[in-house]
């Protein structure tokens, strides 16, 4: 008698900005097991492999192994240790995480108390090592009585707990938008790329610069900046010697000479902004760009896909080799941030 063993589809746990669960699910093209509105996470199945770098709305990508429900109040440690998978055998990091919601924030004190207890047990058994190349172990608490246990690969996930790079607001920065650009450099560029592509004396253009948050950050990195906006700059950038403020239309301005960086945070239709930036790269006005796309409340995934397809069409026609990535950063709201770089062949 022949027996057929059915294999359970691989399940994935993805974190996202609360309110964007549907968009996170839609871009994976997977089936949802859990995708509750405003929960800050989804669980999907039916995809044997996903690439984190190709996902825009996912803050973190975790291979889900087990779910533990009805955790006892007096002893959560024992059932969690029993549920940790045998494979992989060793982990480089342990992250205890919660949803990025008001309810999730109430668990922060519990997480801080519980983390060292679990770490001690895992280290004593030889399963937790200080090795960043090893898989990470995630224990995600939607609430105190439920835990989702999974692992992530360092090369295919976000390199921060909860998928969030937290930034401190600089005192002198003209606006909180500075945090978006600072986070973008951390998310999109490796340490080697930052050393190569961000150097004092480089030249940048900031389109839609006012009140000057992105310009301020570029100046802090040592760059010479042309800030283009009909509106006024504020604070220290208004009279900074490394800043040239041009009161012009950002869609019409072009530099006389190529610049190292173009950044753009203008409020405009995403397809129009994407077309503008792709033209800068296609004509050689810049080789690298970071820009924001303000997405509509409905059909966010479709609007983003249309904008990025437009960029690819322009650069493919030129025969360029390039890198194009989009992420909804922690400091973004109804928008995503895009990185585009022309690469050497």
Give the residue numbers marked as catalytic: 294
Phi-psi region for residue 196, left (φ > 0), alpha (ψ -120 to 50) or beta? alpha
Please return the burial class of 13, using the count of CB atoms within 10 Å of its CB with bins 0-12, 13-18 and 19+.
buried
What distance in Å separates the CA atoms of residue 184 and residue 161, rounded to the nearest whole number? 17
Peptide bond into 192 cis (omega under 30): no
Alpha-carbon distances, residue 96 vs 88, 92, 141, 144, 211 (angstroms): 18, 14, 8, 12, 38
| Phi, psi for residue 39 in degrees, rounded to 5 | -85, -25
| Phi, psi for residue 293 in degrees, rounded to 5 | -115, 115
What distance in Å separates the CA atoms of residue 334 and residue 169, rounded to the nearest whole number? 20
Q: Which helix (H) or strand (E) holds 33?
A: strand 31-34
The pairing of strands 93-97 and 136-143 is parallel
Q: Which helix (H) or strand (E) holds 23?
A: helix 21-28
Q: Look up tokens 């093209």; give the residue.
A: 29
């Amino acid at each position: 008698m022949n027996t057929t063993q059915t294999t359970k589809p691989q399940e994935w746990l993805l974190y996202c900005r609360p309110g964007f669960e549907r968009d996170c699910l839609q871009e994976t093209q997977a089936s949802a097991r859990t995708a509750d509105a405003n929960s800050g996470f989804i669980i999907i199945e039916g995809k044997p492999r996903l690439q984190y770098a190709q996902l825009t709305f996912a803050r973190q990508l975790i291979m889900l192994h087990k779910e533990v429900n009805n955790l006892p109040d007096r002893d959560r440690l024992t059932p969690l240790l029993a549920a940790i998978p045998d494979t992989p055998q060793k982990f480089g990091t342990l992250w205890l995480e919660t949803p990025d919601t008001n309810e999730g924030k109430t668990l922060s004190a519990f997480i801080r108390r519980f983390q060292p207890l679990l770490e001690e047990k895992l280290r004593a058994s030889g399963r937790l090592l200080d090795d960043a190349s090893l898989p990470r172990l995630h224990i995600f608490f939607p609430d105190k009585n439920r835990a989702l246990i999974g692992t992530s690969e360092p090369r295919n996930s976000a390199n921060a707990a909860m998928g969030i790079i937290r930034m401190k607001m600089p005192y002198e920065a003209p606006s909180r938008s500075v945090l978006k650009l600072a986070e973008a450099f951390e998310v999109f560029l490796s340490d080697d790329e930052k050393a190569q592509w961000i150097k004092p004396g480089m030249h940048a253009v900031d389109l839609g610069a006012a009140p000057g948050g992105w310009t301020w950050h570029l100046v802090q990195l040592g760059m010479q900046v042309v800030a283009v906006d009909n509106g006024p700059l504020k604070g220290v950038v208004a009279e900074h010697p490394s800043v040239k403020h041009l009161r012009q239309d950002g869609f019409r301005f072009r530099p006389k000479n190529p610049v190292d960086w173009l950044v753009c945070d203008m409020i405009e239709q995403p397809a129009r902004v994407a077309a503008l930036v792709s033209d800068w790269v296609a004509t050689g006005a810049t080789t690298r760009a970071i820009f924001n796309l303000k997405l509509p409340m409905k059909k966010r995934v479709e609007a983003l896909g249309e904008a990025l397809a437009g960029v690819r069409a322009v650069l493919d026609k030129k025969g360029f080799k390039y890198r194009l990535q989009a992420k909804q950063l922690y400091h973004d709201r109804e928008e995503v941030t895009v990185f585009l770089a022309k690469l050497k062949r």
